Amino acid sequence: MVVNLSNNHSLITNWISEIRDIEIQNDRMRFRKNLERIAGVCAYEISKTLPWVEKEITTPLGISVCKVLEKQPVLATIMRAGLAMHNGFLDYFDKADNAFISAYRKHNRDGSFEISLDYISCPDTENRVVIISDPMLATGSSLVKTLQYIRNAGNPAEIHIACALACTVGIEYVQRAEPTATIWCGDIDDELTAKGYIVPGLGDAGDLAYGAKVQQ
Ligand code: URA
């Protein structure tokens, strides 16, 4: 299933417009903050779909039967671009376990690239709800590769993928590899350049959040 959170106007469409805006992008703190806020909305929407249990809570005046999350999810992200969204998710799922995967595009001379995974730190994911955040779902190859590693740590009960922007080709690629996952996106664009950038997109999310890097 794919949920485009821009199908209806809400605060998220305002934040998406800001992260796309070449002028507003100069404010790096605002860019990160908007990614956090978009992740917060995704977290809230995803929370409505998660298993819950009833719990008796003692208040100063009596007992209230409340609905609470059955189990905390595992929050996973792809470094470095995913860090801001990860913080946004942690604000809401504040007792979650966390997985960090560092993935980068290793460019070939002909302009093509492969995804290389370096650092991986992942809890047991057996029968857990896994929510993975990545601001840009472009080709989908880093997400699919990351999910393969997450599956090495156990078979998740559910997988949710949250991204600020996604493109149609990437969504289709991820859906073929992970047909049961739900993809939550701030918005969806149709075009992808030969170098794997989303158009109109927003540019390089990692550079905009944390500064330009040298290609190694
Ligand atoms: N990663 C980015 O940061 N931007 C894109 O457009 C695609 C992948």
Domains, the chain, ranges and CATH? 2-202 (3.40.50.2020)
Confidence check: pLDDT of 148 > 80 = yes
Among 59-68, 98-107, 145-154, which is the least confidently predicted range? 98-107
Taking CA atoms, 38 is separated from 10, 33, 58, 161, 196, in Å, by: 11, 9, 34, 13, 23
Say yes or no: CB of residue 204 within 6 Å of ligand 1. yes
| Ligand 1 atom showing the smallest separation from residue 197 Cα | 6
Read off the pLDDT band of 216 (50, 70, 90): low
Could you tell me which residue, 5 or 215, shows the higher pLDDT? 5
The terminus-to-terminus CA distance of the chain in angstroms comes to 37
- Percent of the chain whose pLDDT exceeds 90: 87
Q: What is the reported pLDDT for 198?
A: 98
Quick: pLDDT tens for 14-34. Answer: 999 999 999 999 999 999 999
Q: What is the reported pLDDT for 60?
A: 98
Quick: pLDDT tens for 124-136. Answer: 999 999 999 999 9
Residue with the smallest CA separation from ligand 1 atom 2 is 204
Tokens of 190: 């149709």
Tokens of 180: 């049961």
| Ligand 1 atom showing the smallest separation from residue 204 Cα | 3
- Percent of the chain whose pLDDT exceeds 70: 99
| Ligand 1 atom showing the smallest separation from residue 193 Cα | 6
Read off the pLDDT band of 110 (50, 70, 90): confident
Say yes or no: CB of residue 205 within 6 Å of ligand 1. yes
| Ligand 1 atom showing the smallest separation from residue 196 Cα | 7
Q: What is the reported pLDDT for 176?
A: 97
Pocket test for ligand 1, best of 169, 198, 207 (most atoms within 8 A of CB): 198
Q: How many A from CA of 146 to the centre of ligand 1?
A: 16
Quick: pLDDT tens for 43-95. Answer: 999 999 999 999 999 999 999 999 999 999 999 999 999 999 999 999 999 99
Q: Quick one: which of 92, 191, 189 has its CA closest to 133?
A: 92
Confidence check: pLDDT of 173 > 70 = yes
Say yes or no: CB of residue 100 within 6 Å of ligand 1. no
Q: What is the reported pLDDT for 139?
A: 95
Q: What is the reported pLDDT for 116?
A: 82
Side chain identity, residue 82: G
